[in-house]
C-alpha cells in the first residue's frame, strides 16, 4: 500500500501570507495526486487533480506541483476562507489519503 506523508501537520500563518504544503508518497505515483480542502463540519472539497490542475471553481491562488513522490500545494496569498485542513490523496494504486495539514490563523 502506498503511504502519503503530509507536512507540516499544522501551519500557522496570517491572512495574505503564502502557504506551502507538502505531500510525499512512499513510491512513485506519477502525477496521480489530488488535493482536497475540508472545513469543520463540512465535506471535503476538490481543489486540484492530477497534481497541478485546478478543479472547476478553485481560485487561481491555489496551485499544485510535483510528480513521482514529492508534491506541493501552494496558496499564494491566504484569504480568511482558506483556513482549513488540506488532504492529499493518491490515485495510482488504491486511493489512500495523507493525514492532513491544518492551516490555522496565526
Partner 1 sequence: EVQLLESGGGLAQPGGSLRLSCEASGFTFSSHSISWVRQAPGKGLEWVSDINSSGGTTQYADSVKGRFTISRDNSKNTLYLQMNSLRAEDTAVYYCAREIRYCSGRKCSGPSSDYWGQGTLVTVSS
Please report whether residue 61 would count as binding partner 1 according to CB under 8 A: no
**14-22, 30-38, 64-72, 76-84 -> range binding partner 1 (CB under 8 A):** 30-38
30 Cα distance to chain centroid: 16
Cβ 87 to partner 1 shortest distance, Å: 5
Residues contacting residue 75 through CB under 8 Å, at least 6 positions apart: 18, 19, 21, 61, 62, 82, 103
Q: How far is the CB of 67 from partner 1 (least distance, A)?
A: 12
Tell which residue, 16, 15, 59, has the closest CA to residue 37: 59
Question: Of residues 23, 25, 36, 75, which one binds partner 1 by CB under 8 A?
Answer: 36
Amino acid at each position: 500500500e502506498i503511504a502519503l506523508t503530509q507536512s507540516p501537520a499544522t501551519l500557522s500563518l496570517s491572512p495574505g501570507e503564502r502557504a506551502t504544503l507538502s505531500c510525499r508518497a512512499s513510491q512513485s505515483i506519477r502525477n496521480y495526486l489530488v488535493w482536497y480542502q475540508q472545513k469543520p463540519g463540512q465535506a471535503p472539497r476538490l481543489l486540484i487533480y492530477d497534481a497541478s490542475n485546478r478543479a472547476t471553481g478553485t481560485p487561481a491562488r491555489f496551485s499544485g506541483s510535483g510528480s513521482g513522490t514529492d508534491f506541493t500545494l501552494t496558496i499564494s496569498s491566504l484569504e480568511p476562507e482558506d483556513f482549513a485542513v488540506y488532504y492529499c490523496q493518491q490515485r495510482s494504486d488504491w486511493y489512500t489519503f495523507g493525514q492532513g495539514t491544518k492551516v490555522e490563523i496565526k
